[in-house]
Amino acid sequence: MKHTISVLVENKFGVLARISTLFAARGFNIDSLAVGETEDPEVSRMTIVVKGDDSVLEQVTKQLNKLVDVIKVNDYKDVDYVERGLALVKINVKNSTRDALMKTIGIFRTRIIDLAQDSAIVEITGDEDKVNAFIKAVSSFGIKEVCRTGVVALSRGK
């Protein structure tokens, strides 16, 4: 089962290493990790996406709560939340396929951030399914490179 976990931590060096070590020690592969400062510069939010057994992940959550640098842990498993990721995709551009590529880019409401003679870099934001669907849709044009961020998420309301 996929889990999206939000961890508020003190914004200090070494915190990321301690948390990633905890996941590794429990045998969890982190699918995605995004870290950034919150509205309080002394606090960072880590958004961690992992797949794993609920009972083992519950133990990891309990261990996270015991770390001195951790302020709050939320597993969004039973919470209504919004998530987004960002990807930059460098795509081959040929005169013969340019119009079809532009149509595909428009369908996904993406943004071209760089256009060269033989390639375009396209920015897409959305949930994991949308980003994956876009990458699949443009793969026939020839993808040169893909760079993805980790998922960021916030619970709805309050």
- Concatenate the DSSP letters of all residues of 116-134 into one string: -SSEEEEEEEE-HHHHHHH
Q: What is the pLDDT of residue 156?
A: 93
Q: What is the pLDDT of residue 158?
A: 76
Q: What is the pLDDT of residue 100?
A: 94
Residue 37 has pLDDT above 80, yes or no: yes
Give the chain's largest Cα–Cα span: 59
d(CA 19, CA 8): 11
Kindly give, in sequence order, each residue whose CB lies less than 8 Å from that of residue 24, ignoring residues fewer than 6 positions away: none
Given a contact cutoff of 8 angstroms between Cβ atoms, the answer to whether 143 and 91 are in contact is yes
Q: What is the pLDDT of residue 92?
A: 96
Q: What is the pLDDT of residue 28?
A: 81
Residue 2: band (very low, low, confident or very high) from pLDDT cuts 50, 70, 90: confident
Task: Record the pTM.
Answer: 0.84
User: What crossing angle do the helices spanning 128-138 and 98-107 adopt, rounded to 10°?
Assistant: 170
Q: What is the pLDDT of residue 38?
A: 96
Residue range 99-123: mean pLDDT, rounded = 95
Grouping H, G, I as helix, E, B as strand and the rest as coil, residue 128 is: helix
pLDDT digits (tens, 9 = 90+) for 49-73: 988 888 878 888 888 999 989 999 9
In 3D, which of 146, 130, 129, 140 has the Cα closest to residue 101?
Answer: 140
> Which domains are assigned to the chain?
2-79 (3.30.70.260), 82-155 (3.30.70.1150)
